[in-house]
Amino acid sequence: MFTQVIEPRFSETDALGHINNTVFAVWFEACRTPVFRIFTPDLNVTQWPLIIAKVTLEFHAQTQYGENVEILTQISRLGGSSFDVYQEAWQNGIKCVSGTAVMVQFDYQSQTTKALSPDIRAALQQHAI
């Protein structure tokens, strides 16, 4: 499991004083960087091997400005060429948001999916739920 602490910015709040719901997709993507490094250690976008097939978010509790948010990132499913990244956002011991991103290893030149290699599968498995 990967963990990262986010310090919410004032600009990420909405008119009600909560962290805006659109912010979590951005935070979750940023916290997937360690997963991206499994595929592309230097994060070179000219050699990027991933696409997102689907993203879902579920909101469980309100999040507020002025308190850090901890993001947990895990692998919840491994397929042939795809895998699921499950994430949770926690504030003050309360799970506020959970979500899953379905990622697919993709060859941009041939425009086709690419099977996960045994080495990649093993690296992802180290962070599995």
> For each of the chain's 129 residues, which pLDDT tens digit applies?
999 999 999 999 988 889 999 999 999 999 999 999 999 999 999 999 999 999 999 999 999 999 999 999 999 999 999 999 999 999 999 999 999 999 999 999 999 999 999 999 999 999 999
Q: What is the pLDDT of residue 42?
A: 97
Residue 36 domain-assigned?
Answer: yes
Residue 128 domain-assigned?
Answer: no
Strand, coil or helix: 108: coil
The parent domain of residue 69 ranges over 2-123
Residue 129 domain-assigned?
Answer: no
Strand, coil or helix: 104: strand
| Strand partners for 113 | 106
* CB hemisphere CA count around 112 (13 angstroms): 4
> Residue 8: which CATH number?
3.10.129.10
Residue 116 domain-assigned?
Answer: yes
Q: Domain total for the chain?
A: 1
Nearest of 98, 2, 97, 113 to residue 52 by alpha carbon: 113
Q: What is the pLDDT of residue 103?
A: 98
Residue that is written with structure tokens 């962290």 in the block:
19
